[in-house]
C-alpha cells in the first residue's frame, strides 16, 4: 500500500480485473508515475491476525448455491473488469497534459511512418441572391466540394533536416451533380520531386512538362533547390529554426478524454483537444520572422485565424507508444462562392467611386467656365454653387442639374462627407469635398478635396494593411483527418528510373 489513494484504487481495480502486477507497472510507468511509488504501492500488505480462522462445514444452502457459482462468477468478473476500465479511464482523463507532453517528444523522434490523409472543402450557394448574382453561381448548382485523399510513406532524409515521401493521391471535385477525379503519384527524394506522368493532371498545371518525351519515361523530376524553384524552398537553417519554434509552441493540447478506441489495430486514447489562438498567433509571428514575410502577410494570417472556428479538434494517442495515430480537424472556412458574389459588390463599389470622380470633374469644369466668364468662382448656397450666381452666364447655364453622389455609402464614408460639398474661398478659389470608399483613379480612399489646383486625399481611410478577408463570409467548411502508422519501421523510397529532368533555369539575374 502507498500514501496515494488514487494509485492504490487503480492497482486494486486492475488486480480485480485480472491484470498482473507486471502489466499494471507498465501501464503506470507509461502514465507518468515514478517507479519507487509504483513498487511501494504494489508491495503486499501484511495484516496481523490474533487468532486462527475457524473453518466451518459448508451449509446446505451453500451446497445449493454451487450450481449457480459459474454464472455469478462471470457476472462478478464483468463488473470488476468494468470497474478496472473505469479507473484507468479516470486516470488518463485526469492526466492529458502529461500524456500530451510525452507524445510531443515522441513524435519529434519519429524517423519513418506510413500515412493516410482525407481532406475536404465544402461550400454551398447562399440564399437570397440578386438575379445577376444567381446567374453567376448557377454553374455551381447547390454547391461545390473539393476533396483529396492520399496514402504513402514518410522517411527522414540522411541529413535529418527534411522528410522524403512516396505518395499516391486522388483529387475529386463535385459540382452541379458531376464528379471529376484525378489520380496521381509523386515522390520526394533528397532535392528532387518526382511526378508520374500517367493520369497526372498536375502536368497540365506545369505547362505539360515532359509530355514531349512520351514513351521514353513514365516519370519527370524537378530539383526543388535549383532554377526558378529555389526561392520557394526552405534552407536548412530555416527548417531548424521552424522546428525549434514548433517545439516551444503550446497552441494545442488535449483537454478531455472521450474514449478508449482502436485505430488501425492499435489501442489508443481518444482525446478532445483545444486550440489557443493567441499562442498560435505567437507561433505564426515567429514563423513570419524566420521566413522573412511582410507585416501585411502576417496580418492576413491573423485575420484568417480570427475568423476561423475550430468546431472539432481531436487526437488519438497510442496507449503504449504515446504517439499520434489519428488526428481530426473540422472548421469553417472562407466561402469561395460567396467571394464570387462579393466580387460583384466590389465591382459595384468601384463603379460608384468612378462615378464620384466623374461627377467632381464635371463640377470642376463648370466652375472654371464660370470663372472665365465672370472673373470669379460662384458663391455657395447649402453646400452647392448658387445656380443663379453670375451675370450673363449664370452657373446653371454650365451645369443644369447639380450631381448627387451615388449610394449606398462605401468604405468609411459618412452621409455628410459623401455629398459634393462646395465652398467659395474668396473670388479666385474654392473647395469641393467628397468621399471615395476605395482607392480609385490613382487616389487613396477617404475624404477628398478638389480645388483649382487639383484633387487630393485630405483624410485617408486606410491607414493600415487591408484585410483581405473583410466582407467574405466564412460559411464554407473544411475537414482534415490524418492517420499515422508503422512508426520507425523500414521504408524504402526508390528513385524512378530514367526520370526526365524538367527543372527550369532561373531566368532572373
- Give the per-residue pLDDT at 137: 66
Write down the pTM of the prediction: 0.63
User: What's phi and psi for 52, nearest 5 deg?
Assistant: -65, 150
Q: What mean pLDDT comes out for the span 37-58?
A: 55
- Give the per-residue pLDDT at 67: 45
**Length reported for the chain:** 509
CATH code reported for the domain at 349-460: 3.30.700
- Give the per-residue pLDDT at 19: 78
Would the pLDDT of 458 be above 60?
yes
Would the pLDDT of 83 be above 60?
no
Would the pLDDT of 101 be above 90?
no
Please tell me whether the peptide bond between 408 and the residue prior to it is cis, using omega within 30 degrees of 0.
Answer: yes
- Give the per-residue pLDDT at 180: 87
Pairing of strands 500-501, 219-223: parallel
- Give the per-residue pLDDT at 433: 97
Q: What mean pLDDT comes out for the span 312-331?
A: 94
- Percent of the chain having pLDDT more than 70? 77
d(CA 458, CA 477): 42
Q: What is the pLDDT of residues 50-62, one digit of tens each?
A: 444 343 444 444 4
CATH architecture of 100-335+473-501: Clam (2.50)
CA nearest 258: which of 326, 328, 315?
Answer: 315
- Give the per-residue pLDDT at 84: 42
Least confident among 120-124, 197-201, 264-268, 421-425: 197-201
- Give the per-residue pLDDT at 132: 64
Task: Look at residue 423 and give its three-state secondary structure.
Answer: strand
Note whether 260 and 268 are within 8 A (CB).
yes
Residue 440 is classified by DSSP as B
- Give the per-residue pLDDT at 335: 87
Alpha helices by DSSP H, listed for 95-218, are 96-108, 131-137, 202-205
- Give the per-residue pLDDT at 133: 66
Least confident among 4-13, 161-170, 432-441: 4-13
- Give the per-residue pLDDT at 369: 96
Q: What is the pLDDT of residues 465-498, one digit of tens each?
A: 556 676 678 889 999 999 999 999 999 999 998 8
- Give the per-residue pLDDT at 304: 85
Q: What mean pLDDT comes out for the span 315-329?
A: 94
Domain boundaries, the chain: 5-45+58-94, 100-335+473-501, 349-460
- Give the per-residue pLDDT at 181: 87
- Give the per-residue pLDDT at 63: 46
Q: What mean pLDDT comes out for the span 355-380?
A: 96
d(CA 116, CA 137): 34
Please provide the average confidence, as pLDDT, over all residues in the chain: 80
- Give the per-residue pLDDT at 20: 83
Amino acid at each position: 500500500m502507498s500514501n496515494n489513494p488514487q494509485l492504490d484504487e487503480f492497482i486494486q481495480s486492475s488486480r480485480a480485473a485480472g491484470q498482473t502486477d507486471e502489466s499494471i507497472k507498465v501501464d503506470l510507468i507509461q502514465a507518468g508515475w515514478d517507479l519507487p511509488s509504483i513498487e511501494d504501492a504494489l508491495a503486499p500488505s501484511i495484516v496481523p491476525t490474533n487468532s486462527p480462522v475457524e473453518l466451518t462445514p459448508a451449509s446446505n444452502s451453500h451446497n445449493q448455491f454451487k450450481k449457480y457459482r459459474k454464472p455469478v462468477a462471470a457476472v462478478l468478473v464483468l463488473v470488476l473488469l468494468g470497474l478496472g476500465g473505469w479507473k484507468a479511464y479516470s486516470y488518463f482523463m485526469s492526466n492529458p497534459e502529461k500524456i500530451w507532453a510525452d507524445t510531443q517528444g515522441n513524435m519529434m523522434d519519429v524517423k519513418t511512418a506510413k500515412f493516410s490523409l482525407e481532406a475536404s472543402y465544402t461550400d454551398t450557394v447562399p440564399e437570397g441572391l440578386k438575379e445577376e448574382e444567381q446567374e453567376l453561381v448557377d454553374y455551381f448548382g447547390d454547391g461545390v466540394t473539393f476533396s483529396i485523399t492520399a496514402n504513402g510513406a514518410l522517411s527522414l532524409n540522411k541529413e535529418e533536416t527534411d522528410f522524403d515521401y512516396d505518395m499516391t493521391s486522388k483529387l475529386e471535385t463535385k459540382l452541379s451533380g458531376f464528379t471529376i477525379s484525378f489520380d496521381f503519384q509523386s515522390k520526394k527524394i533528397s532535392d528532387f520531386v518526382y511526378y508520374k506522368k500517367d493520369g497526372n493532371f498536375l502536368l497540365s498545371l506545369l505547362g505539360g512538362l515532359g509530355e514531349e518525351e512520351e514513351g521514353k519515361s513514365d516519370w519527370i523530376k524537378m530539383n526543388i533547390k535549383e532554377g526558378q524553384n529555389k526561392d520557394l524552398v526552405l534552407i536548412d537553417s530555416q527548417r531548424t529554426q521552424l522546428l525549434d519554434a514548433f517545439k516551444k509552441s503550446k497552441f494545442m493540447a488535449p483537454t478531455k478524454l472521450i474514449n478508449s478506441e482502436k485505430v488501425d489495430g492499435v489501442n489508443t486514447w481518444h482525446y478532445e483537444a483545444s486550440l489557443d489562438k493567441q499562442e498560435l498567433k505567437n507561433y505564426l509571428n515567429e514563423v513570419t520572422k524566420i521566413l522573412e514575410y511582410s507585416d501585411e502577410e502576417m496580418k492576413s494570417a491573423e485575420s484568417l485565424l480570427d475568423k476561423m472556428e475550430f468546431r472539432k479538434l481531436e487526437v488519438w494517442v497510442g496507449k503504449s507508444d504515446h504517439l499520434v495515430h489519428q488526428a481530426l480537424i473540422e472548421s469553417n472556412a472562407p466561402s469561395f462562392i460567396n467571394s464570387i458574389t462579393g466580387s460583384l459588390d466590389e465591382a459595384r463599389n468601384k463603379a460608384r467611386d468612378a462615378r464620384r470622380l466623374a461627377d467632381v470633374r464635371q463640377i470642376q469644369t463648370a466652375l472654371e467656365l464660370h470663372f472665365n466668364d465672370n472673373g470669379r468662382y460662384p458663391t455657395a448656397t447649402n453646400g452647392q454653387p448658387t445656380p443663379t450666381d453670375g451675370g450673363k452666364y449664370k452657373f446653371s447655364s454650365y451645369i443644369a442639374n447639380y450631381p448627387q453622389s451615388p449610394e449606398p455609402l462605401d468604405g468609411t464614408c459618412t452621409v455628410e462627407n459623401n455629398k459634393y460639398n462646395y465652398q467659395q474661398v474668396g473670388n479666385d478659389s474654392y473647395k469641393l469635398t467628397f468621399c471615395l470608399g476605395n482607392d480609385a483613379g490613382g487616389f487613396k480612399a477617404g475624404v477628398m478635396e478638389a480645388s483649382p489646383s487639383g484633387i487630393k486625399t485630405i483624410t485617408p481611410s486606410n491607414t493600415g494593411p487591408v484585410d483581405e478577408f473583410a466582407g467574405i463570409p466564412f460559411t464554407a467548411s473544411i475537414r482534415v483527418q490524418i492517420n499515422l502508422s508503422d512508426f520507425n519501421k523500414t521504408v524504402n523510397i526508390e528513385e524512378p528510373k530514367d526520370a526526365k529532368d524538367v527543372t527550369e533555369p532561373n531566368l532572373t539575374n
